[in-house]
Amino acid sequence: MSMLPVLAQVTLLMLNRVGSSILFPLHGNVYPIGFYSVTLNIGQPSKPYFLDPDTGSDLTWLQCDAPCVQCTETPHPLYRPSKNLVPCKDPLCKSLHLHGCQCETPEQCEYEVQYADGGSSFGVLVKDAFSFNFINGEQLKPHLALGCGYDQSPGPFPHPFDGVLGLGKGKSSIVSQLSKQGLVQNVIGHCLSLQGGGYLFFGDDLYDSSRVLWTSMSRDHPEHYSPRFAELIFGGKTTGIKNLLTVFDSGSSYTYLNSPAYQALISLVKKELTGKPLREALDDKTLPLCWKGQRPFKSLQDVRKYFKPLALSFTNGGKGKTQFELPPEAYLIISRNGNVCLGILDGTEAGQDVNIIGDISMQDKVVIYNNEKQLIGWMPANCNRLPKSKTTSF
């Protein structure tokens, strides 16, 4: 009996998978909830977990009953780890330990993840089944490595998550692992709706590449999704605020500029508001800078006319400039008090060493991280409507 037809079928299946994508609905908003979450089904039997989708870190981990030394509040019971430990010599373990593998026992791989807000997770790597519904109709349960986090230190604003979905560029990210198994292209995209919710996808066939504004990823900062240096544009005019090393980070609700750029922006905004019916709301502590009107504002539509659009202009590797546009709704919120607040914060004060494009500024855009081609792209989109595959007819 010839093996060729079987091998041919397997090859076709693999090609079909690489041409397919996985689509996830997102829940949450920038304000007042303060974060977005995605549901992943993990384990045998499969159980749902709410994860924070974070393009600023690689490792996916769950709060874990191993037993747990310190865990924060979770929406679901703690993850019970599989017995399938990742050994210290595994390349995935080595990718988490830049200065050589430091394992107390060779049978297991310990990890520690530190986040910019001061939060952290410590635990061991395990492998378990992840249940995915591909948009071509396939249902697969690949075994992937994740962290069993049994010692968490929360940041200053802890959210009720089961864990973090690491979407960074490293080998340990779920998309990198899926790509290595030949199941999807190493491409991530998200669309965060201004109304709340949105979607996240893995794979390369849920957008029209010709409509996307692309810029190259920096090779000098391989640990981040960085399009290198930006210049701040205010109301369509250059500001002289340049050389802003910028990172896209879906794990950050707000956008951060370094202190000099932040202070310069505030001066420009305040100058623009001179003579407008807005005054500083010093009693509103929602964000560091808020303004009140003659009566409470109900929506951003009430105030957008008072604020200029911003943009970050990236030099695209000698191929001209690409602009990431920020209309007023991409940097303002309306607080519970009916005031308008600036959703761009002082990054130096917050301990950030780079300028961060956070969720607020990525709303109502599809943002794509193409690790195959080392490109970051974006285009305006209706994030309330799930996309259809280019290659699959429904």
Three-state secondary structure call for residue 303:
coil
What is the distance between the terminal CA atoms of the chain, rounded to a whole angstrom? 37
Supply angle C-alpha 177, 61, 344, rounded to 5: 100
Active site residues: 54, 249
Are the beta carbons of 387 and 206 closer than 8 angstroms? yes
The span from the CA of 380 to the CA of 36, in Å, is 19
Task: For 165, list phi and psi in degrees, rounded to 5.
Answer: -100, 100
Q: Strand pairing partners for 329?
A: none
The span from the CA of 192 to the CA of 307, in Å, is 22
Are the beta carbons of 361 and 326 closer than 8 angstroms? yes
Strands (E), 71-197: 110-114, 120-133, 139-140, 143-153, 163-166, 187-192
The span from the CA of 266 to the CA of 286, in Å, is 17
Q: How distant is the alpha carbon of residue 358 from its chain centre?
A: 8
Give the max Cα distance, the chain.
Answer: 85
Nearest to 23 by CA among 366, 378, 377, 375: 366
The label of the residue with tokens 């595959």 reads 389
Q: Tokens for 4, please give them.
A: 């060729």
Q: How distant is the alpha carbon of residue 134 from its chain centre?
A: 21
Quick one: CA dihedral 381, 385, 386, 392, positive or negative? negative
- Judge if the upstream peptide bond of residue 77 is cis by omega within 30 degrees of 0: no
Spell out the alpha helix ranges (H) of the chain: 4-18, 91-96, 174-180, 259-273, 359-362
Three-state secondary structure call for residue 266:
helix
- Judge if the upstream peptide bond of residue 45 is cis by omega within 30 degrees of 0: yes
